[in-house]
Chain A
């Protein structure tokens, strides 16, 4: 059965769209929804202005256009860049922010909503991305530097960072528990509702809420899903997606098509889910070594649960 009544009686809900994806805000005190929404919207606007590769006037676009020069950056962009570098470091480069040029090469050069689903053939060639060690950030002086020819894309971490910051801001502004979902990257902050935040897990964040889908509950932290099945497009006879393997500069081509991870923050969760897909055959072992609860969907739909991820419960 689909179209579940979304627990609206006890939660304040606000849906919208930002950062190129659908957004959802939930607060445990419905009467404080407006304050929470305003706080969330401020964070999302600031992230968009700092980190969007698709805005010519964003800070990241100016940084990419100034490769070879030391550029002053805002505190927020410095935090986003350091978050990206930390993700690269702990994944040994599987999640790398210097994939900007590779994404442009495969056609992902604008907001996904404006990207044609199909188009003529394009020339693809395998070449490792420049690598995260080529990006230098100094938070103390708020400066950043890239070598000429390197382009940064923060898609793998900035949206998750936005979820974490927005949930925290919404909880603080409302004095209530808050959940923020940005295209399925979910962060929670403050006291959860009874039984925790109930989250449906699937391959498409745009799927309707349903009684029939696998649902888990979290009390804190974040949950994120990376998938090769949703953001896809075709050029010539080739199907492409947005998760780049830094070793080849091409879309990752491993055995996992979708990975969901729960962690202490949405940034951690999204870093791990992206890394698992990029690492391919080694992705599940890496997640186990990290001790993170995860749900992986293989190329043919087979589901593997790791690290304490619960088995689906029979519906009452």
Chain B
């Protein structure tokens, strides 16, 4: 008995678009999960002082308490790292150097 083929081109296109959206959602979820896993690993697996670690110097931080609980604090910071600018004029007003 012949099978009736009910999928028209527009139906097929709709299906493909749905499949595409599903693929994107799964990919996004996987990336988010990887990020969460990496953050957890970075926070819980101790490293050595010689390894590189990229993190904001002022940011949200968790402090361990005496009773083992954690307190989360956020340090407000300006939006961007200020870049020093060259100055061809003389007359500096202060010196940054080793402490004396």
Q: Is A237 positioned at the interface, with any CB of B under 8 Å from its CB?
A: no
A258 near B96: Cβ-Cβ < 8 Å: no
**Which of B6-14, B20-28, B33-41, B44-52 sits within the interface?**
B44-52
Partner of B97, one of A26, A205, A263, A293: A205
Q: Is B2 positioned at the interface, with any CB of A under 8 Å from its CB?
A: no
Q: Report if A4-B90 is in contact (Cβ < 8 Å); known contacts: A231-B99, A264-B82.
A: yes
A184 near B93: Cβ-Cβ < 8 Å: no
Partner of A205, one of B58, B78, B85, B100: B100
The 8 nearest A-B residue pairs measured at CB = A227-B98, A230-B98, A183-B99, A200-B92, A310-B86, A216-B84, A205-B97, A206-B100
Q: What is the total of A-B residue contacts with beta carbons within 8 Å?
A: 250
Q: Report if A139-B77 is in contact (Cβ < 8 Å); known contacts: A181-B94, A206-B100, A264-B58.
A: no
Chain A contacts for B5, CB-based, 8 A: none
Complex alpha-carbon distance, A136 and B64, angstroms: 6
Interface class of chain A by DSSP = mixed
Q: Give the interface size class of chain A.
A: 35 or more
B93 near A6: Cβ-Cβ < 8 Å: yes
Q: Report if A199-B91 is in contact (Cβ < 8 Å); known contacts: A143-B66, A263-B81.
A: no
Partner of A90, one of B48, B55, B82, B97: B55
A313 near B88: Cβ-Cβ < 8 Å: yes
B77 near A265: Cβ-Cβ < 8 Å: yes
- For B, the interface residue count at a CB cutoff of 8 angstroms equals 46
Q: Considering the complex, give the chain A residue whose CB is closest to the CB of B91.
A: A7
Q: Is A279 positioned at the interface, with any CB of B under 8 Å from its CB?
A: yes
A200 near B89: Cβ-Cβ < 8 Å: no
Complex alpha-carbon distance, A227 and B98, angstroms: 5
Complex alpha-carbon distance, A293 and B65, angstroms: 34
Complex alpha-carbon distance, A206 and B76, angstroms: 32
B92 near A213: Cβ-Cβ < 8 Å: yes
A184 near B96: Cβ-Cβ < 8 Å: yes
Q: Report if A310-B84 is in contact (Cβ < 8 Å); known contacts: A203-B97, A245-B49.
A: yes
B66 near A209: Cβ-Cβ < 8 Å: no
Partner of B50, one of A145, A204, A279: A279
Complex alpha-carbon distance, A91 and B100, angstroms: 25
* Contacts beyond the supplied A96-B49, A138-B65, A198-B92: 9 A-B pairs with Cβ under 8 Å: A21-B100, A82-B61, A86-B58, A141-B65, A207-B95, A209-B95, A216-B86, A229-B98, A290-B54
**Which of A41-49, A119-127, A217-225 sits within the interface?**
A217-225
Complex alpha-carbon distance, A230 and B100, angstroms: 7
Chain A contacts for B99, CB-based, 8 A: 21, 159, 182-185, 205, 227, 230-231
Query: Can you list 23 A-B pairs with a CB-CB distance of less than 8 A?
Result: A82-B63, A93-B49, A140-B71, A141-B66, A184-B97, A184-B99, A185-B96, A195-B87, A200-B95, A204-B97, A210-B92, A215-B87, A216-B87, A221-B78, A225-B97, A227-B99, A230-B99, A265-B58, A280-B50, A282-B50, A308-B83, A308-B84, A313-B87
Q: Is B1 positioned at the interface, with any CB of A under 8 Å from its CB?
A: no
Complex alpha-carbon distance, A272 and B63, angstroms: 20
Q: Is A54 positioned at the interface, with any CB of B under 8 Å from its CB?
A: no
Q: Mark A287-316, 1 if CB is under 8 A from B, else 0.
A: 001111100000000000000111111111
B96 near A201: Cβ-Cβ < 8 Å: yes
Chain A contacts for B65, CB-based, 8 A: 136-138, 140-141
A247 near B48: Cβ-Cβ < 8 Å: yes
Q: Is A236 positioned at the interface, with any CB of B under 8 Å from its CB?
A: no
Shortest CB–CB separation between residue A29 and chain B, in angstroms?
15
Chain A contacts for B58, CB-based, 8 A: 86, 264-265, 267-268
B56 near A92: Cβ-Cβ < 8 Å: no
Complex alpha-carbon distance, A89 and B46, angstroms: 10
B98 near A184: Cβ-Cβ < 8 Å: yes
Q: Mark A133-156, 1 if CB is under 8 A from B, else 0.
A: 100111111011100000000000
